Structure 1
Amino acid sequence: MRGIIRAQALVLVGASLVSCSAPQPSAAPVCVVATDLVPDAGILSGVSLDWERETLEQYATKLGRRPAVVVYSTAFPLIQDNARNLDAAFEQIKANGGTMLLTLEPHDGLESVTKEHAEKLGERLVGYNNGGVPVIVRFGQEMNGSWFRWGQKPAQYVDAFRTVAEAVHRLAPGSDMMWAPNYGGGYPFSDGQHGVQEGPPQSAALDTDGDGSVTAADDPYAPYYPGDDATDWVGMSLYHWGETYQSGTNVVPEDGKFIRQLTGSYAGTGGDELAVPDFYEEYGSARNKPVAIPETAALSIPSRGGDDELAIKQAWWRQLFDPAIPRDYPSVKMVNWFEWEKLEVELDVKADVDWTAVQGQAVRDAYVADLPSWFKGAQEPKPCTPPAS
């Protein structure tokens, strides 16, 4: 999400923090985790959970089903407290079933991402995999934005991503790597504190049309792509921010907005964004990569007037649930709802935004009623048994 660093400092289990060491690869019993994390049919339905508000079990009880994917975000490299909280998240996901989408945020700078730290991560993920939890690593999300320290540094970012990918692929075959920029409308997002610095070599790498400056005419994705060999999944943060980004208006999204933004064909009340490339085709279909929407939701600000919360959110999730998507865009394999209420300081007038789908009874009932059968939840977890020799 734009402009927000999410430090998930606590994982609550009941009323206490679980403290545990990383599950060890040699620990028995060992679960057999599939190395192909992409579903043959349908779309994995997941959640980006506010772990400080509720446990995964509490969320699943409200929803009435187990989410197939659960997002957990942490600073990287891992320090002791972050590692302990990550282990606690693993325990909750293990009990839930499904996949962990592990978002790694290099807040200390891309130069802090070393081979040693990447290998320690890979060793930890083996323990999670052997404990029955597949993991998809989303490293340095929204790197094409200007709101994170790792943003708009393409060469450094690609090197760091590839360092992590090499270790994960070599050490943890039950884990995948995801590359996930922000939707390119509004690029180069010049209002952020970590925007591109004019002059070579950084601006030269981002000046894809060669006109001497970085503008909306430049490709918001290509300079940051780490390569087909390092990337298993491609993803995009894609939200309905209201009438226009930063306006903070409670307004029902236009019909077809979601898929038009994903495919680079959007021109509407939010502006003419036809210069944005077709992300789905260029990075999903053409490269034979599964496409994820690791974060999505629709803006609703309770303190402001405008359209009704349910009308806004339902109009957005019905675009996500459109049966034309699995038929016409079969590479889309994951969609995760951003289940947070939080202050958005980047709006023209900062405000508390309710992005949630299951916290209020009326919205939750409508969301659950609209969930299609092909939007897959997690199967009930099975006891771990030693793998066949």
Structure 2
Amino acid sequence: MVSRLVRLVMAALLLSLCACNINPKAVPCDPIDGRNLAPDTGTLMGVNLEWGRETLAEYSEKLGERPAVAVTFADFPFNEEDPGLLASAAEQLRQNGGMLLLTLEPMDGLDAVTSERADELAALLARFNTNGVPVIIRFAHEMNGSWYPWGQQPAEYIAAYRRVADAVHAQAPGSAMMWAPNYAGGYPFAGGEFESLPGAPGFPALDTTGDGTLTAFDDPYAPYYPGDDAVDWVGMSLYHWGNTYPWSESEMPEEGKFIDQLTGTYNGKNGNDSMLPDFYTQYGVDHGKPVAIPETASLVQADIGELRSLNIKRAWWEQVFDPTVHKRFPHLKMVNWFEWNKMEPEVGAPVDWTVLENNTTHDEFTTALPDWYHYAPEPHTCGEPLT
């Protein structure tokens, strides 16, 4: 959901931040176990921060807590400014506490994800880990979609994912790998630039029913799974975009929508998705992986009025915060809120995804935060500045 242009704007603020060492004597940090970042019980509370607009410390002050996870994006292989930009984000986490969820986007295609580039990534992550910052890599998310250069190419995707995972696991033990497909409502997402069609090299692997076509009855996840040894977390972004396509209306979410999408049982105004696999059970429980919602929020056009906006956002977070979620889904270990106000091409208008910008919404959201959410530990007092 974050454009290349926006990431460039982020850099200006991040790279101007103070690189003051909060521990001038550079006390070494304890080793981080990247395979053990999930809490035993409860859920990590995180944020997709609009880095170019506010710092992590400023967001934490508004929230009243320091989020356990902060999400950022980068092209991969890295562009020239990306390592410095990421180091600045990691430095904020070192000073504020918490872990980095780094979404890597191979915009030049999967062939560009070489072993050499994976080793460069691992070296950068190892530096972050050594200085107290855990990192989870969400590599080439939404790979089952047809809108990214890495989409609907199962064999190439799995090979690239495993190449990155091998380097990260071997060289950056304080880091972990997340596999995160797109929610499969609407699969196989016909009409996208990178749609797989009959005759394409990867098509037979995607045609899980063997009938020569891709439909909603083909498995939208399994052909892309890289293997339990390569995957540490599984994730799926779940937004309330509205109730019907095209996404141009600010609408109240249907009751139970969040749980229904997580479990593949949604059958409502946007269609019948009840033929989908139960993502939570199949990949969280059966594969024994912690489950993340890397991004969530509810669509509200910026000009609909304060009361209507509050009602829609509240209705969504009440579903996510429902005690039933905590009881039924103990493998759900991370939920990250998308705190952006941005133009959405699918809507053709600005969308206010935020929950902390409006005073009334802020107060209700922070009051509603459940007691089973976990926040960042105390800020690090070890390591050296990363910028």
Q: TM-score range by the shorter chain?
A: over 0.9
| CA deviation string 1:32-83 (max 9, x = no partner) | 1431101011100000111111111111111111100000110111233111
Shift of 1:197: 3.3
Aligned to 2:378: 380
Gap change, CA 1:62 and 1:243, over 3 Å in 2? same
- Partner letter of residue 17 of structure 1? S
Note if contact 2:32-2:134 (Cα within 8 Å) is conserved in structure 1.
yes
Equivalent residue in structure 1 for 2:349, among 348, 351, 354? 351
Note if contact 2:235-2:292 (Cα within 8 Å) is conserved in structure 1.
yes
| CA deviation string 1:282-315 (max 9, x = no partner) | 1000111000000111000123589811111111
- Partner letter of residue 366 of structure 1? E
The answer on 1:257 being equivalent to 2:257 is yes
Moved more, 198-207 or 181-190: 198-207
Shift of 1:187: 0.7
Distance 2:245 2:175 in 1: 34
- Partner letter of residue 283 of structure 1? Y
Note if contact 1:47-1:71 (Cα within 8 Å) is conserved in structure 2.
yes
The answer on 1:185 being equivalent to 2:189 is no
Aligned to 1:37: 37
Gap change, CA 1:100 and 1:187, over 3 Å in 2? same
- Partner letter of residue 16 of structure 2? L
Note if contact 1:295-1:336 (Cα within 8 Å) is conserved in structure 2.
yes
- Partner letter of residue 274 of structure 1? S
Aligned to 2:360: 362
Q: Secondary structure at the match of 2:81?
A: helix
Note if contact 1:12-1:54 (Cα within 8 Å) is conserved in structure 2.
no
- Partner letter of residue 215 of structure 2? T
Moved more, 46-55 or 184-193: 184-193
Note if contact 2:75-2:107 (Cα within 8 Å) is conserved in structure 1.
yes
Shift of 1:136: 0.5
Aligned to 2:115: 115
Distance 2:359 2:304 in 1: 20
Shift of 1:28: 4.7
Aligned to 1:297: 297
Shift of 1:12: 6.1
Moved more, 34-43 or 373-382: 373-382
Aligned to 2:137: 137
Aligned to 2:8: 9
Aligned length: 378
Moved more, 302-311 or 360-369: 302-311
Unaligned 5+ runs, structure 2: none
Note if contact 1:74-1:105 (Cα within 8 Å) is conserved in structure 2.
yes
Note if contact 1:98-1:133 (Cα within 8 Å) is conserved in structure 2.
yes
The answer on 1:55 being equivalent to 2:72 is no
Moved more, 61-70 or 189-198: 189-198
Aligned to 1:154: 154
Gap change, CA 1:339 and 1:236, over 3 Å in 2? same
Aligned to 1:271: 271
User: Normalising to structure 2: TM-score of the pair?
Assistant: 0.92
The answer on 1:64 being equivalent to 2:67 is no
Note if contact 1:100-1:134 (Cα within 8 Å) is conserved in structure 2.
yes
Distance 1:16 1:306 in 2: 35
- Partner letter of residue 180 of structure 2? A
The answer on 1:172 being equivalent to 2:141 is no
Note if contact 1:76-1:107 (Cα within 8 Å) is conserved in structure 2.
yes
Moved more, 286-295 or 373-382: 373-382
| CA deviation string 1:128-179 (max 9, x = no partner) | 0111111100000111111211111111111110000000000111110000
Aligned to 2:331: 331
The answer on 1:235 being equivalent to 2:235 is yes
Note if contact 1:12-1:55 (Cα within 8 Å) is conserved in structure 2.
no
| CA deviation string 1:334-388 (max 9, x = no partner) | 00011111111123xx1211111111111111110100111111122131179xx
Note if contact 1:11-1:18 (Cα within 8 Å) is conserved in structure 2.
no
Note if contact 1:98-1:379 (Cα within 8 Å) is conserved in structure 2.
yes
Segments ≥4 residues shifted beyond 3 Å: 3-7, 10-16, 303-307
Query: What is the Cα-based RMSD across aligned positions, in Å?
Result: 2.3
The answer on 1:84 being equivalent to 2:53 is no
| CA deviation string 1:179-227 (max 9, x = no partner) | 0011010111124222223314222221111111111111111111111
- Partner letter of residue 204 of structure 2? A
- Partner letter of residue 248 of structure 1? S
Distance 1:270 1:30 in 2: 53
Q: Secondary structure at the match of 1:234?
A: strand
Q: Secondary structure at the match of 2:72?
A: strand
Q: Secondary structure at the match of 2:378?
A: coil
- Partner letter of residue 77 of structure 1? P
User: Normalising to structure 1: TM-score of the pair?
Assistant: 0.92
Note if contact 1:100-1:133 (Cα within 8 Å) is conserved in structure 2.
yes
Unaligned 5+ runs, structure 1: none
